[in-house]
Amino acid sequence: MSGGSTPAPLRLDDFDAGPAALTRRWSVFSDRVMGGVSVAHGAMTTVQDRHALHLTGSVSLEQNGGFIQAACALGDPPGSGVDARGFRGLALSVCGTPGSYFVHLRTADTRAPWQYYGAPLPVSGEWTRVVRDWGAFTPVSLATPLDVRRIVRIGIVAAKTAFRADVALSALWLATGD
């Protein structure tokens, strides 16, 4: 999406109507895919009176581990990506136990599993709207700057420190300049 006018915010998933109305399929996994020992659980549930994706588990740094993640493929069909040009960044409504959380994006440029663009995700005990501008996303294991023309996957991640993770996501959309 490009041009002179500011687009309306674009909702990427609909948690409001509960699990039956979800437009994206979320998968939950941990560093166990690489030999780590972190444990992840994900569920569509109600958290503080809102329908939400609830990611919980224990992040362990043992055996070179250190993450748990809930991720979904974007686009129609899933994985084809969304064009986020004309948007300011990504907006999320989150709550949970404060900890070491991140938003990860994968694009057409992230070919290896360890490549992504990451931004910190502040989490508090109350529902909070968090906006991460595109400039907040740092490339990890690649030199290519973030190209928002084709974002193929988003992940909510607990990582980099050993802790008990508990984060819920009730809304996810592409943010405009407001």
**66-96 per-position pLDDT tens digit:** 999 999 999 888 889 999 999 999 999 999 9
Is there a contact between 70 and 15 (Cβ–Cβ < 8 Å)?
A: no
Print burial letters for 79-107: b (CB count within 10 Å at least 16), e (below 16). eebbebebbbbbbbbbbbbebbbbbbbbb
Domain extent for 19: 10-175
Q: Does residue 28 sit within a domain? A: yes
Number of H helices, E strands in the chain: 0, 12
The SS3 of residue 34 is helix
The conformation of residue 62, written as its DSSP 8-state character, comes to G
Among 115-119, 158-162, 174-178, where is mean pLDDT lowest? 174-178
Q: Name beta bridge partners: 54.
A: 43, 168
pTM of the model: 0.90
Is there a contact between 176 and 9 (Cβ–Cβ < 8 Å)?
A: yes
Token pair of 51, please? 């329908």
Q: Does residue 92 sit within a domain? A: yes
Tally of structural domains, the chain: 1
Q: What is the CATH number of the domain that holds 61?
A: 2.60.120.430
pLDDT band with cut points at 50, 70 and 90 for residue 33: confident
Angstrom distance (rounded) from CA 90 to CA 100: 18
Among 73-87, 114-128, 162-176, where is mean pLDDT lowest? 73-87
The conformation of residue 33, written as its DSSP 8-state character, comes to G
Residue 42: its H or E element: strand 39-47
